[in-house]
């Protein structure tokens, strides 16, 4: 198996609500939408939204679940100010701020929001990593 990830699919309770959150609230552009699935083309990968019950059914697991799932999604910001601005934007779009932005032990600056389905997003500025013009992140200092 090659060392890469192609698609992250979020199981959502209300597809229309989640679509509006990402499309209108965060300003993301839909790459494709077909039936009960919505795709956002990201830099080098895809984020998909799909009804939670259907996603669980497809994986042949229970759709029951609550609390922390052990997974967070992360967005690498270009600056501390970017972190603050993105968290304000996400809250205005309907997200719940879980952790206010702050300096963190590893030398960066980050905060967390939960999207309408509770999926946790960390918005972080990391001075030790490099972002290119497309937003691709690299494990090397600038």
Read off the pLDDT of residues 46-89 as tens digits, 9 standing for 90 and up.
Answer: 999 999 999 988 888 888 877 777 789 999 999 999 999 999 99
Split into its structural domains, the chain has a count of 2
Band (pLDDT 50/70/90 cuts) for residue 24 is: very high
Residue 141's pLDDT is 59
Smallest CA-to-CA distance from 76 within 110, 35, 104 is with 110
Residue 16's pLDDT is 97
92 and 140, same structural domain? yes
Indicate the average pLDDT of the chain: 92
Under 8 Å between Cβ of 109 and 125:
yes
78 and 57, same structural domain? no
78 and 12, same structural domain? no
Residues 6+ apart with CB under 8 A from 26: 89, 90, 93
Query: Which residue, of 21, 40, 62, is where some domain finishes?
Result: 62
78 and 54, same structural domain? no
40 and 100, same structural domain? no
142 and 79, same structural domain? yes
Domain at 120, CATH number: 3.10.180.10
Domain that includes residue 7, residue range: 1-62
Could you report how far apart the first and last alpha carbons of the chain are, in Å?
Answer: 30
30 and 58, same structural domain? yes
């Amino acid at each position: 198996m090659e060392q890469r990830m192609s698609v992250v699919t979020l199981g959502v309770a209300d597809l229309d609500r989640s679509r509006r959150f990402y499309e209108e609230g965060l300003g993301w552009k839909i790459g494709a939408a077909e039936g009960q699935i919505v795709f956002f083309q990201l830099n080098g990968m895809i984020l998909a939204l799909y009804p939670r019950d259907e996603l669980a059914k497809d994986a042949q697991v229970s759709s029951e679940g609550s609390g922390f799932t052990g997974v967070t999604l992360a967005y690498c910001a270009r600056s501390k100010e970017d972190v603050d601005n993105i968290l304000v934007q996400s809250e205005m779009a309907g997200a719940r701020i879980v952790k206010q932005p702050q300096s963190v032990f590893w030398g960066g600056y980050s905060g967390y929001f939960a999207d309408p389905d509770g999926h946790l997003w960390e918005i972080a500025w990391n001075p030790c990593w490099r972002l290119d013009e497309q937003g691709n992140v690299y494990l090397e200092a600038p």
